[in-house]
Amino acid sequence: MIEDLYFINAKALAAKLHQQQVSEDLAFKHLLVFSMLFASAMVFPVAVSCTQSDVFAFWYQIANFIAFALLQFWGMRLLYRTNKQGDGQAFFLRWAALSLPVGLQVWLISLLLGLVYGILLSTVFVNTITDLPENTWLISGMGFGLVMQVIYYFIMQRNFKRSANG
C-alpha cells in the first residue's frame, strides 16, 4: 500500500499530477495517510464554567477558532485560485495527493523551528522565563500554529503551480 506513496518529494508528485499520471486511488492513499498522521479536530469555543481564570480561556478559544477559520478560508481560496490560473483541472485530486508530502515537509519544518525555539528559550531567555505572564505560552503556541499553517499553504501553492502549469 505505501510503496507508491510520495512521502516527502512533493515536487516529483506535482510533476506526475501535471502529466496526469496520478490515479484517484493513489491520491486517496495520500489523503488517507495524511489524515491518519495529521488528524484534525473541530474546535468550538465552548467553556463549561466561567470562573475568573476561565474567562481568558474562553476568549482564547474564540480567538483561536476565528484565526484558524480565517486562515483556512484564505488558504483554500489561494489553492483554488492557483489551480484555476493553471489548467483548472483536478483540484481535489491534486489536493488529496499533495497533502501527504507537503504535510510531512511542514511537520519537519515545525520540528526544526520548535528546536530553535526551545534552544532560544533555554539559553537566551532562561532567566526571564518565569517572569513571563502565564498566557504567553498559549498565545505563542497559537502564533506558532498559524505560522505553520501559512507555511503549509505556501508550499501547497508552489506545488499546485507545478501540477497545474508544468
Residue 20's alpha-carbon distances to 64, 137, 161, in angstroms, are 38, 45, 14
| Helix axes 91-123 and 52-85, enclosed angle (nearest 10) | 140
Question: Considering its fold, how many domains does the chain have in total?
Answer: 1
Does 26 fall in a domain?
Answer: yes
pTM, two decimals, is 0.77
Is a pLDDT exceeding 60 seen at residue 44? Answer: no
Does 3 fall in a domain?
Answer: no
Does 1 fall in a domain?
Answer: no
Full residue range of the structural domain in which residue 109 is found: 10-165
Q: State the residue for C-alpha cell 495524511.
A: 34
Does 47 fall in a domain?
Answer: yes
Which DSSP letter does residue 83 get?
H
Does 81 fall in a domain?
Answer: yes
* 15-29 pLDDT tens trace: 999 999 999 889 999
CA gyration radius, the chain: 19
